[in-house]
Structure 1
């Protein structure tokens, strides 16, 4: 037996088919990435969900879903836009129920512009949080009722405390924190944000989900671990200090070579 964390993966139906034996080998956590686009959610997605359930027969790892995110933010000023966002995220939770997912990834609203401007206008920070609550109130209630956790993923975030405070503001176990390592490293190199391990330290036990992907800090590469410049030992040392067990999800652009990224972290003695 080992106390090293077990890696999971973010995969489409095609990727799950390719890596099914690897997923079942250690009952790895899985994040499904087939059910988040508007075209899919407004179409007949249930046959896809049924194929996923059949393919995952025998899989006992935790299952999550990347929620809808294209074309919107969760802090819109426009009530009609907020209604559309609310409907999309409720559709995402419906898909979660269909595939047995207990976690859904939602994108953070915070931008680099926000970091420079929120405190320049009295009340702007509080108003942004209020708009997110107006958008997500019914979504959080639905998540609570079906036992699904919403995890807020950093995108442009420069100050991780903002996203952590936003999640905590709901006062609900159904709203927690996600960390994307590549997004954090991009923000560190390009905008002066903290390094990746600091994100872990600040989130603490609220951190329930991690996208593992590498980058050079210039753009959102989604390279395999080892192909960029993230300092993986420091990140995993921070993760080891957590009492909980966040889902560690390899989210790489080339899913066909997913196991090469996993092998790199294994060779470093950090995970398996």
Structure 2
């Protein structure tokens, strides 16, 4: 079973205290989620980071964070707001630099409305405008990420088009920009908006896929249930993942981490991951 892909997890520093042995025993990938919260970024985030570093003494795995995202659309058309959004993402990278984290999750700017309306403007102008705004917002962030060796992974939120984030990431022509797939978000888009199924999102990301949020769902809402509680086709998802090299970080992101070990056990029993 040791040839199965190794699962990581997303959690807060408070939760890490209870899952330290699980993470450190096999140096599993870890995503700290405290620093997505704007009040913490604006406050004493270093005390939380210091606690995390203490808990991670001896850790040799790959560390990442979920970056700030609440209200921070990276394609915002207002230059004043873009300056604020740039600053918030730079704050996230400051945390990464302090922790030695090498990945930061950021959110896709694309909505279901975009899918149905961007092509309503002739000549691709609406698509180009979104990408231009993203570059205006993120150019200094990408430059800083390159300096400190962080890859930002663009997570699907409402994305109905599985290709659109990859095209956005590619437009930066930088190792600091890659793609994330959240399985529950993709399953919501499939069930509620007619998007392709989750395994298609994985395949279409291809070699640009550096990160996956694993959560189960019912195709109606963003459930973040334990694996096995929803109806995602996990065998198809992991067949698609097996086609991608190197394997992206596989991060269990659950609403309730009391289901974390049960999710690992379920996937291991299915012969999919460990």
Bin the TM-score by the shorter chain: over 0.9
Unaligned regions of 5+ residues in structure 2, if any? none
* Residue 264 of structure 1, aligned match among 255, 263, 266: 266
From 205, 210, 226, the equivalent of 1:203 is 205
C-alpha distance in 1 between matches for 2:108 and 2:208: 15
SS in 2 for 1:200: helix
> Where has structure 1 moved over 3 Å in runs of 4 or more?
none
1:72 is displaced (CA, Å) by 2.1
* Secondary structure class of the residue paired with 1:160: coil
TM-score (norm 1): 0.98
CA distance in structure 1 between the partners assigned to 2:229 and 2:14 by the alignment: 23
> 1: distance between equivalents of 2:257 and 2:235?
23
1:63 aligns with 2:25: no
Structure 2 distance, partners of 1:60, 1:5, is 17
**Residue deviations 1:34-71 (CA, integer Å, cap 9, x gap):** 11211001101111111111100111110000000012
Q: Tell me what 1:106 maps to.
A: 106
SS of 1:35's equivalent?
A: helix
Q: For residues 237-263 of structure 1, what are the alpha-carbon distances to aligned partners after superposition, in whole Å with 9 as ceiling and x for unaligned?
A: 111111212000000000123111111
1:240 matched to which residue of 2? 242
How many residue pairs match? The answer is 272
> Partner residue of 2:173?
171
Give 1:25 deviation, angstroms: 1.6
What TM-score do you get using the length of structure 2 for normalisation?
0.98
CA distance in 2, matches of 1:76, 1:224: 34
Unaligned runs of 5+ in 1: none
Whole-Å separation in 2 of the counterparts to 1:93 and 1:25: 27
Cross-structure match for 2:232: 230
Q: Could you say what the CA RMSD is over the residues aligned between the two structures, in angstroms?
A: 0.8
Distance 1:267 1:44 in 2: 42
Structure 1 counterpart of 2:25? 25
